[in-house]
Structure 1
């Protein structure tokens, strides 16, 4: 009888430990997604601002510093996501990170006066605008991962 009660208490303790552990993981993932969302948005906005400065011939040291700060913030958020995000979210983040890196390279080449084949102001601006639309799908994946939205709300195409 005492053995049965002890085993039930042991099972209840294990179940509570598992619930606490899952809740902690979810909280950690949520914090990661919030930071990642903010960093990716900031980096995209700074890329757009910098692109405009390049187009206007008005690049300043402050604009360069702001872009680099946003870029480093993005890298830090992505590094955290690589250890925390679910596999579907991480795959989508990786795709967006590659697009942001490509936009950065194209903008820098445009600034140097050596634009890439698809590196005009208009091409880069269009791609950065489209990236925002794709980001909405990625954000939905994060919400599904956190249980905020049903899995049926997740986009079927890659962000």
Structure 2
């Protein structure tokens, strides 16, 4: 299920039904498409991110969760629903939003990159299905906020430079 939240952001379910919800917004110096923002944010991931994904994969596979490997850094010029951007499934894309999901037996994750003129928002929503999902989200929920904040700052710098 995809629910339209504020503006053009989309989330998995109404906020009270979510186990994790985070929205981070940043002004940009110019308008870009959600896909262009995605490409710029993942083209050269933060240095510790590869290590974080490595740790995540090593621990998660012990609980039957597939390894995701992290961000490839490969720019994509066009996507359609059903395509993949690294480990995410593209569920929706238009000029104002890009909706990416990853679903497994432990949790459903949705990340929506949405644009409102020259302002970007990254909205993340999660529904947890079991104990492992809850345990997983304890460190990931904290780290996710820092990672997104860093990605947005780097995006601002790239577009300004």
TM-score, normalising length from structure 1?
0.31
More strand per residue: 2
TM-score, normalising length from structure 2?
0.30
| Rg (Cα) greater in structure | 1
More helix per residue: 1
